[in-house]
């Protein structure tokens, strides 16, 4: 079975919420819509305090080239535009909407019917995706329309759909494939049309045999769409790892996937593309996995963006008493949340509740030079070396040791027997070295 | 016997030729270096801390020799004493400057600032700051993980066990500015040391609105501007809900210290105040 060639680990999967039907989360009383929900520049508010909005009303416009529109996920009145404390404790601008009823914009087609015919032209598709404020739903939240417009001189040859879901615990993509496979395939065809390719590969890890079987059955009738089962291995969901696993090409250091003719999109994004293009529905809700060993009902929820995370946890049985940490995202790349009143954003793929015993980090000990971190590094760099270079502020040497290649998958920190915070230091080094590289230009 | 002779003669000849070549090469590529640079470097402290703004002591010595006056050039480690020696070596007038010292603009000890969460990640302020706003409700204050302590090569700064705040040793601090650069929250500032080490400063960096700041920390500056009003020398400015005392204008009258409702303004090394009754009698 196919997988990527360098490094990788296999943490305990713990997919407690697998096969839980997608439930619709209740509407919040007040929705807090952050303006910076995508990678790049935050959006700029176009509504004012007191404005009446419906579900799908544009409330903030893209604030730069790498940026995405934001639409109201609820209907009601804009209470205020203010700074709110985000998941990391710093203040960020947000639009706060008091919810009244649930009235949708009339252009949005809310029926469940599968619309198979793609009538929109290539340009229309890109315009609709940009209008709908789509971003990569795997977690990186890079604006989709930019990823679909390769720079001049570069030609896409193949579309790769990321349905790997290699993060332990998370199951939202798996469940989405089981329930919305028809829509996803139409979404893939729209994406193929948008970038002008005739071949698409869907990479799925083989711990989801039912999803593989279902997608394979449906893809039989679709010309050019292949389903590629992959060996379970973290971080296969990384763009570069997935390209290596599916088509055997390696993205050169510092280059983008388009360099090897690939465009990678998340399976959730493919579904959102279907909704945006065929149903005129902007990105106002998404599937989020609420999970953990101690939570009463691990679930996959369809929740509106802007819903406070605490309300989602309450819906799944409330926060267990011995909770040590709540992590936004998966356990490998997610970030611990400072408070639960922060709202859901476009990038919220999961919420992991960890009991206090598991949440504690071990005390750091001395490096024993076992080179386990080197073995598991999926980018072929040397994490132990990078950490000491960063500790000693040797930025030139760190750059020469390819610190910027790190994809921050965290395999090194996970595997280190001395509990060294390797990734934390590498990330700090990437910040510094990145700033130095930018200042050179 | 002749073998040995040939060897000795060959090696001797090679040596002689090389010596001649090296002599001419050395003449051709000779670099003239002002001998005064060595003189100046000899009196510098050789800490190579970079506090002067140059790459090291030799670099600073070169700058001193090149400069027409010593105005603006200061070795913070050596202070005025060393600068006088430098001036003597160069036959110039010494320009006296006020000695400075590092101050920590945060007084949020564990007692003053309640913890709202626990951080168990990498023990580095720079990393913690990039992750989140810290263990307390104040996102501007000290994280107490000791990046400043690591950066200080004069052993003049340590993190207090109880308060988890940096403490500066007045006798050892050379105001080289390494800690100022190391602090990712920009809490540490170089200020005038003041006569008899007496100085007054706002020990807070919180720019939140008064209520929010006060809720997070009992000794936070709430930006009430009372100090600004009471100051007779226009030394205090309030910007973004945070007061700042300009040390070039401050005359150390201590009126602001008494006025501050949250005790965010700190006075150091002053004799104890006279009782109010006595002050009235005067």
pLDDT in tens, B14-31: 999 999 999 999 999 998
The pLDDT, as a whole number, for residue B68 is: 84
Q: Are residues B104 and B236 in the same domain?
A: yes
Residue B10 belongs to a domain: no
Topology of domain A122-279, CATH: Rossmann fold (3.40.50)
Q: Are residues B185 and B265 in the same domain?
A: yes
CB contact under 8 A, B130 and A431: yes
Q: Are strands A225-230 and A91-99 parallel, antiparallel or unpaired?
A: unpaired
Task: Give the nearest chain A residue to B124 (CA atoms).
Answer: A425
Q: Are residues B105 and B220 in the same domain?
A: yes
Count CB neighbours of A201 within 10 A: 21
The pLDDT, as a whole number, for residue B275 is: 61
Q: What is the CATH number of the domain that holds B264?
A: 3.30.70.20
pLDDT in tens, B223-241: 999 999 999 999 999 999 9
The CA-atom distances, in angstroms, between A310 and each of A34, A347, B262 are 16, 17, 34
Contacts of A426 in chain B (CB under 8 A): none
CB contact under 8 A, A424 and B124: yes
User: pLDDT at residue B149 above 90?
Assistant: yes
Backbone angles phi, psi at B267, to 5 degrees: -115, 140
Q: Are residues B60 and B109 in the same domain?
A: no
According to DSSP, the residues that pair with A78 across neighbouring strands are A97
Task: Give the nearest chain B residue to A359 (CA atoms).
Answer: B120
pLDDT in tens, B121-137: 899 999 999 999 999 99
Select from B68, B90, B112 the last residue of a domain.
B90
CB contact under 8 A, A338 and B117: yes
Q: Are residues B214 and B162 in the same domain?
A: yes
Q: Are residues B59 and B175 in the same domain?
A: no
pLDDT in tens, B36-46: 999 999 999 98
- Domain limits, chain A: 122-279, 372-440
Question: Which of helix, strand or coil describes residue A292?
Answer: strand
When scoring A82, A85, A86, A89 by the number of chain B Cβ atoms within 10 A, the one with the most, hence best to mutate, is: A89
Select from B90, B117, B135 the last residue of a domain.
B90
How much is the ipTM here?
A: 0.88
Name the band, by pLDDT with cuts 50, 70 and 90, for residue B71: confident
Residue B213 belongs to a domain: yes
Residue B27 belongs to a domain: no
Residue B17 belongs to a domain: no
Rg of chain A over all Cα atoms, to the nearest angstrom? 21
Identify the domain containing residue B79 by its residue range.
Answer: 35-90
Sequence-distant (≥ 6) Cβ neighbours of residue A260 within 8 angstroms: A243, A247, A249, A250, A251, A252
CB contact under 8 A, B120 and A427: no
When divided into structural domains, chain B yields a total of 2
The pLDDT, as a whole number, for residue B69 is: 85
When scoring B116, B125, B127, B215 by the number of chain A Cβ atoms within 10 A, the one with the most, hence best to mutate, is: B127
Structure tokens at A346: 């476009």
What is the SS3 assignment for A361-411? CCCCCCCCCCCHHHHHCCCCCCHHHHHHHHHCCCHHHHHHCCHHHCCCCCH
Query: Rounded to an integer, what is the distance from CA A360 to the centroid of its chain?
Result: 25
Q: Are residues B77 and B116 in the same domain?
A: no
CA–CA gap between residue B66 and residue B243 (Å, rounded): 41
Q: Are residues B192 and B63 in the same domain?
A: no
- A431 and chain B in contact, CB less than 8 A: yes
Name the band, by pLDDT with cuts 50, 70 and 90, for residue B281: very low
Contacts of A427 in chain B (CB under 8 A): 127, 130
Residue stretches of chain A with pLDDT short of 70: none
Q: What is the CATH number of the domain that holds B76?
A: 1.10.15
Q: Are residues B84 and B138 in the same domain?
A: no
Residue B24 belongs to a domain: no
Q: Are residues B86 and B104 in the same domain?
A: no
CB contact under 8 A, A421 and B134: no
The pLDDT, as a whole number, for residue B282 is: 46
Q: Are residues B84 and B107 in the same domain?
A: no
- A88 and chain B in contact, CB less than 8 A: yes
**Which among B117, B122, B134 has the least Cβ separation from residue A424?**
B122
Structure tokens at B229: 């009003």
Minimal CA separation from A370 to chain B, in Å: 20
CB contact under 8 A, B120 and A361: yes
**Which among A335, A338, A431 has the least Cβ separation from residue B133?**
A338
- A394 and chain B in contact, CB less than 8 A: no
Residue B30 belongs to a domain: no
The pLDDT, as a whole number, for residue B98 is: 83
Contacts of A421 in chain B (CB under 8 A): 121-122, 127
pLDDT in tens, B88-108: 988 888 888 888 999 999 999
Residue B5 belongs to a domain: no
Q: Are residues B155 and B197 in the same domain?
A: yes
Residue B171 belongs to a domain: yes
């Amino acid at each position: 079975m196919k997988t990527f060639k360098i490094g990788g680990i296999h943490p305990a999967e713990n997919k407690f919420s697998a096969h839980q039907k997608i439930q619709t989360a209740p509407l919040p009383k007040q929705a807090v819509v952050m303006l910076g929900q995508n990678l790049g520049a935050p959006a700029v508010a176009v509504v004012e305090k007191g404005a009446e909005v419906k579900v799908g009303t544009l409330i903030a416009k893209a604030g730069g080239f790498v940026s995405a529109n934001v639409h109201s996920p609820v209907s009601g009145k804009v209470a205020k535009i203010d700074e709110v404390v985000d998941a990391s404790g710093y203040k960020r601008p947000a639009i706060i909407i008091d919810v009244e009823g649930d009235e949708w914009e009339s252009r949005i087609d809310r029926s469940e019917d599968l619309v198979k015919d793609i009538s929109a032209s290539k340009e229309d598709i890109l315009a609709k995706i940009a209008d709908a404020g789509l971003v990569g739903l795997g977690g990186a939240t890079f604006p989709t329309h930019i990823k679909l417009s390769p720079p001049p001189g570069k030609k896409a040859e193949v579309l790769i759909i990321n349905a790997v879901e290699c993060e332990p615990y998370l199951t939202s993509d798996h469940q989405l494939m089981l329930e919305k496979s028809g829509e996803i395939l139409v979404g893939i065809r729209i994406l193929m049309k948008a970038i002008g390719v005739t071949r698409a590969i869907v990479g799925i890890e083989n711990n989801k045999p039912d999803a593989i079987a279902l997608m394979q059955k449906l893809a039989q009738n679709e010309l050019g769409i292949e389903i590629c089962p992959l060996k379970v291995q973290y971080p296969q969901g990384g763009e570069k790892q997935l390209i290596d696993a599916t088509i055997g090409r390696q993205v050169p250091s510092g280059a983008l996937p388009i360099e090897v003719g690939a465009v990678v999109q998340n399976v959730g994004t493919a579904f959102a593309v279907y909704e945006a293009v065929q149903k005129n529905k902007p990105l106002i809700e998404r599937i989020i996995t609420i999970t953990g060993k101690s939570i009463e009902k691990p679930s996959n929820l369809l929740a509106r963006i802007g819903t406070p995370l605490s309300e989602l946890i309450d819906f799944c049985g409330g926060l267990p008493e011995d909770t040590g940490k709540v992590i936004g995202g998966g356990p490998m790349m997610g970030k611990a949340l400072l408070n639960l009143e922060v709202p859901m954003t476009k990038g919220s793929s999961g919420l992991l509740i960890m009991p206090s015993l598991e949440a504690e980090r071990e005390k750091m000990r001395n490096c024993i030079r076992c080179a386990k971190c080197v073995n598991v590094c999926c980018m072929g760099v040397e994490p132990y070396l990078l950490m000491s270079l960063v500790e000693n502020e040797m930025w030139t040497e760190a750059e020469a040791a390819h610190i910027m290649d790190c994809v921050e998958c965290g395999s090194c920190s996970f595997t280190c027997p001395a509990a060294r915070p390797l990734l934390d230091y590498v990330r700090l080094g990437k910040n510094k070295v990145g700033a130095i590289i930018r200042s050179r230009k | 016997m002749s073998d040995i002779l040939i060897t000795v003669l060959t090696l001797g000849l090679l040596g002689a030729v090389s010596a001649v070549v090296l002599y001419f090469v050395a003449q051709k590529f000779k670099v003239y270096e002002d001998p005064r640079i060595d003189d100046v470097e000899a009196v510098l402290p050789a800490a190579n801390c970079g506090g002067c703004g140059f790459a090291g002591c030799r670099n600073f010595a070169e700058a001193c020799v090149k400069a027409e006056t010593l105005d603006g050039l200061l070795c913070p480690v050596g202070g005025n004493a060393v600068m006088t020696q430098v001036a003597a070596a160069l036959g110039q007038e010494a320009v006296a400057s006020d000695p400075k010292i590092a101050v920590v603009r945060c007084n949020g000890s564990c007692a003053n600032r309640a913890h709202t969460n626990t951080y168990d990640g990498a023990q580095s302020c720079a990393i913690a700051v990039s992750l989140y706003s810290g263990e307390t409700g104040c996102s501007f204050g000290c994280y107490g993980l000791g990046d400043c302590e690591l950066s200080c090569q004069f052993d003049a700064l340590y993190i207090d066990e109880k308060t988890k705040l940096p403490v500066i040793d007045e006798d050892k601090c050379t105001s080289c500015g390494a800690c100022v650069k190391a602090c990712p929250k920009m809490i540490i500032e170089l200020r005038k040391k003041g006569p008899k080490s007496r100085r007054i400063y706002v020990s807070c960096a919180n720019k939140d609105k008064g209520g929010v700041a006060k809720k997070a920390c009992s000794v936070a500056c709430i930006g009430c501007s009372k100090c600004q009003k009471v100051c007779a020398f226009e030394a205090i400015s309030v910007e973004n809900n945070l007061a700042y005392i300009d040390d070039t204008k401050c005359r150390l009258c201590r009126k602001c210290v008494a006025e501050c409702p949250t005790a965010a303004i700190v006075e150091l090394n002053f004799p104890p105040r006279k009782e109010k009754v006595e002050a009235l009698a005067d």
